[in-house]
Amino acid sequence: MVGSRKLSNEEVEALLSGLDKDDSKAAEEQFDPNEVREFKFGTEDLSLLGDYYALRMINEKICRFTRSVFLPMLRLMPRISCFPPEVKSFDEYVESCDNFVSVTSSRIEELRGNALLVIESSFVSHLTNSYYGGSKVQSLFSQHGEFTATEQRIIEIITEGMNSAMEAAWKDLLQTKFEVQSREENIQFVSFVDGADTVIVCAFMVQMPGHDPVSFDVVYPLQTLKPISSQLRSRVQNENAHDDRTWHERLQNAVLSIPLTLTAELGRPKTSIGTLIKSRVGDTFSMSTPEHVTVKVSDQEIFFADLGKVGPNAAVSMKTRIKQGGDENG
């Protein structure tokens, strides 16, 4: 969560490995809609509200898509991980954050609600430093309580890129448009929801070589996501369908573009070792003319062809494809 911790890379690795085990256990549990249980704010999963499986898949895609947002600024590829969504009151979330953070409120018209993008101030400072040529592993952050004009411009660039990344992450479930409504530097002043209202906090961890992990959060009001709760619980996802098609097309095009060398075998003259040893420059070997020229790729016979010319160049005209096993196909 933004502003509440500073973990080493080793601690983050240990934490993430533990989350994988917790996720596998949670997946085995069955949610009984008829069972009445006390709801306690601050739980670290959505089991009491239903398993928002699709939301976790969206967060995984946000991790992938936001790498390209930070890469031009950091000049390295960061590792971005997501934590399981948390359910808590907005007041509880605000109390867990530093007051001085970058807070951007974006309107999601399709859901008739807003979402918050909350970024650590130290991360903003580090991005600004790296973007303008500073050290990749040092931060110029100081507790000055407000962002400079340069940092504010970086926040605008980050927000624009991350909103596009979130739109791409959501599009398989719902076509959305994230439009910036307001920005704040103190989360206490954010006009979002009432303090007692429930929010879903999606926390993300950014790891960079030689730098302490930093974080950013995406916060949704529960009421905003309720209209699509059944879709968020669905485990039938086509999240990778478009990506798979694109990957398959690119792979196919790459394979079809691999350059190959064709070898046209005109014949195989025979001679003895003694004759070959006595051969001199200018000697000739007699060779019978074959009915067809054999065309090979990497010593694999592919076609029988006729020998000819195209302009000043020798050429072969493919006549019969040679099947594996020696069968011919005209």
Question: Is 140 within the bounds of a domain?
Answer: yes
Task: Give the confidence band of 43 by pLDDT, cuts at 50, 70, 90.
Answer: very low
**Residue for token pair 């065309």:** 295
Please tell me whether residues 82 and 208 are part of one structural domain.
yes
Q: What is the DSSP string of 115-174?
A: EEEEEEHHHHHHHHHHHTT--SS-------SS--HHHHHHHHHHHHHHHHHHHHHHTTT-
Task: Give the confidence band of 309 by pLDDT, cuts at 50, 70, 90.
Answer: confident
CA 10 to chain centroid, in Å, comes to 23
- Res. 132: pLDDT tops 90: no
Rounded Cα distance between 212 and 175, Å, is 35
Please tell me whether residues 97 and 169 are part of one structural domain.
yes
Please tell me whether residues 266 and 323 are part of one structural domain.
yes
- Res. 323: pLDDT tops 50: yes
- Res. 322: pLDDT tops 90: no
Share of the chain above pLDDT 70, in %: 75
Question: Which of 223, 252, 281 is the C-terminal boundary of a domain?
Answer: 252
Question: Which of 212, 233, 252 is the C-terminal boundary of a domain?
Answer: 252
Of 25-29, 81-85, 115-119, give the lowest mean pLDDT range. Answer: 25-29
149-208 per-position pLDDT tens digit: 999 999 999 999 999 999 999 998 888 999 999 999 888 888 888 888 899 999 999 998
Q: Furthest-apart CA pair in the chain: how many Å?
A: 101
Please tell me whether residues 48 and 140 are part of one structural domain.
yes
63-102 per-position pLDDT tens digit: 999 998 998 888 888 899 999 998 999 999 999 888 889 9
Q: What is the DSSP string of 260-320?
A: --EEEE-------HHHHHH--TT-----PPPSSEEEEETTEEEEEEEEEEETTEEEEEEEE
Sign of the dihedral defined by the CA atoms of residues 195, 38, 30, 227, in that order = negative
- Res. 35: pLDDT tops 50: yes
Question: Is 136 within the bounds of a domain?
Answer: yes
Which CATH number is 299's domain given?
Answer: 2.30.330.10
Residue type, 122: S
Domain tally for the chain? 2
Q: Which residues contact 141 (CB under 8 A, 6 or more apart)?
A: 121, 122, 125, 126
Mean pLDDT of 209-232: 87
Please tell me whether residues 212 and 272 are part of one structural domain.
no
Q: Which residues contact 19 (CB under 8 A, 6 or more apart)?
A: 83, 84
Please tell me whether residues 220 and 297 are part of one structural domain.
no
**Residue for token pair 């929010």:** 199
Q: Hey, which residues does 295 pair with through a beta bridge?
A: 264, 303
Task: Give the confidence band of 140 by pLDDT, cuts at 50, 70, 90.
Answer: very low
Question: C-alpha distances in angstroms, 104 versus 36, 120, 162, 217?
Answer: 37, 12, 11, 11
Question: Which of 252, 286, 307 is the C-terminal boundary of a domain?
Answer: 252
Please tell me whether residues 180 and 318 are part of one structural domain.
no
Rounded Cα distance between 195 and 210, Å, is 38
Q: What is the DSSP string of 179-226?
A: EEEEEEEEGGG--SS-TTSEEEEEEEEEEETTEEEEEEEEEEEHHHHG
Question: Is 1 within the bounds of a domain?
Answer: no
Please tell me whether residues 50 and 112 are part of one structural domain.
yes
Of 28-32, 181-185, 220-224, 254-258, give the lowest mean pLDDT range. Answer: 28-32
Q: Which residues contact 111 (CB under 8 A, 6 or more apart)?
A: 174, 176, 224, 225, 227, 228
Question: Is 4 within the bounds of a domain?
Answer: no
Boundaries of domain holding 111: 9-252
Q: What is the pLDDT of residue 106?
A: 93
Rounded Cα distance between 4 and 322, Å, is 69
Share of the chain above pLDDT 90, in %: 23
Rounded Cα distance between 158 and 164, Å, is 10
Which CATH number is 65's domain given?
Answer: 3.40.1550.10
Please tell me whether residues 88 and 139 are part of one structural domain.
yes
Please tell me whether residues 168 and 293 are part of one structural domain.
no
pTM for this predicted structure: 0.58
